[in-house]
Amino acid sequence: MRLIIFGTLNGQIGAATRIALQRGAKVIQVEDIEQGLNTLRSGRGADLAMIDVSLDVKYLVESLKSERINLPVVACGIGNDARAAVAAIRAGAKEYLPLPPEADLIAAVLEAVAEESHQMLFRDPAMGQVVKLAEQIAPSSASVMITGESGTGKEVMARFIHMKSPRSDKPFVSVNCAAIPDTLLESELFGHEKGAFTGAVARRLGKFEEANGGTLLLDEISEMDVRLQAKLLRAIQEREIDRIGGSKPVKVDIRVIATSNRNLADEVARGTFREDLLFRLNVVNIKLPPLRARPADIEMLSQYFVKKYAAANGVPERPLAPTTIEALRLAPWRGNVRELENTMHRAVLLALGSQIEVADIRLPDGSALSDSISRGAAPAAADQASGDAAGASPNLVGRTVADVERDLIIDTLKHCLGNRTHAATILGISIRTLRNKLKQYSDEGLAVPAANEGSRVPA
């Protein structure tokens, strides 16, 4: 756990620092926000930030966001000042901690961040085989490609491999290639010098240098522009990078792990992914099975999420009824573990009886879990019906391909509650293609569902 603390707060922050160090955290303490930002730009990354509420919390949160530094912020203040706590949360802080610090409270915050980062939970033999392979190859420095559907836990697996490797005491740095525009991704990876381009107000080290000695995760690498892939290939092969605007290469020592929810061999055939880069990354392939193929994990994870969200929301921890467990096993879970987590959180809040019943399990659109189960069996029936019809559906006759494509894209996006990444996965197209289509529809005056990348895919 890497912690950066902003401010002094009359020595109370110093006490928090000592507690964090005793709990095994690696701590950086800075006097003000600018000093902290310069520290983060220099490649000294962190997993969590704690800030004195007397400093400008909103400025810190907005600065981190504008510079694409993904870092949760916890505000700290003397005593239980309700107004300060509310102001800090409204400014973007995730939590508020009263000071003087309580050791158990700080430990709980650190443990919560660590748990979300690399906890690997499984019971099903199918997942057990995958974890066994991951443990076997973790001590090596070989590049790893982790594949699987969205929501199966690819980033969790990457962190697990890192924690089992000799690099576990070094940084683990993650870059979501699908979430960063192509024009910014190069700077994000390789860094830039001051004045290298408009907006480069200061020198900033990229993720390669931040991860030096540790592990770099390239999440959803299939979304990276093919032109940038050439520079990435050189960096992996030569173990050196060139900052934008820099005058000389910089040596780096990292292990690269990449993930994709797409078939990269197909992307190579389409010309959207370099074959030589695939060979370089795919030294070891770890394929995560979808949740529907891991029935024992469905039960175990459901019970884990019930316990987690009952405690988080201060409600009684109700057990899952046997009929509920069976229904959960039968559901298709197209959003995998992410969807299951969201569903169980909702069930914890809706349940009123002594157990969580099937009727308490509601999907994001308000429909019942049983509806999802029946829809999961629908494709086979639909295939049979299409065979009996011996022809195209009457609803499609007389319509242009462009019209059908447009309706399919919009309907899928609505199904995903505006989540572009999940919609692109279901449609079998790249996120870039989806965004171009949506821009076209918007320019044509069509109402396009608002983006919501934090949503879960409904079943």
Residue range 80-92: mean pLDDT, rounded: 81
> In angstroms, rounded to a whole number, what is the distance separating the alpha carbons of residues 89 and 314?
19
**Same-domain pairing of 343 and 444:** no
**Same-domain pairing of 358 and 242:** no
Query: What CATH number is associated with residue 431?
Result: 1.10.10.60
Residue 390 pLDDT: 35
Q: At 437, phi and psi to the nearest 5?
A: -65, -45
For residue 25, count CB atoms less than 10 angstroms from its CB and return exposed for 0-12, middle for 13-18, buried for 19 or more: buried
> In angstroms, rounded to a whole number, what is the distance separating the alpha carbons of residues 1 and 107?
11
Residue 448 pLDDT: 85
In a domain, 387, yes or no: no
In a domain, 245, yes or no: yes
> In angstroms, rounded to a whole number, what is the distance separating the alpha carbons of residues 8 and 15?
10
**pTM score of the predicted model:** 0.66
CB 240 within 8 A of CB 252: yes
**Same-domain pairing of 129 and 110:** no
For residue 115, what pLDDT band results from cuts at 50, 70 and 90? low
**Same-domain pairing of 170 and 279:** yes
CB 54 within 8 A of CB 9: yes
**Same-domain pairing of 365 and 412:** no
CB 166 within 8 A of CB 215: no
Residue 9 pLDDT: 54
**Same-domain pairing of 365 and 270:** no
Query: What CATH number is associated with residue 333?
Result: 1.10.8.60
pLDDT in tens, 270-322: 999 999 999 999 999 999 999 999 999 999 999 999 998 888 788 899 999 99
Residue 183 pLDDT: 79
**Same-domain pairing of 198 and 137:** yes
**Same-domain pairing of 105 and 159:** no
Tell me the residue range of the domain where 198 lies.
125-287
Residue 337 pLDDT: 92
For residue 100, cis peptide bond before it (omega within 30 degrees of 0): yes
Boundary residue ending a domain (332, 352, 376): 376
Domain count within the chain? 4
**Same-domain pairing of 222 and 90:** no
Query: What CATH number is associated with residue 26?
Result: 3.40.50.2300
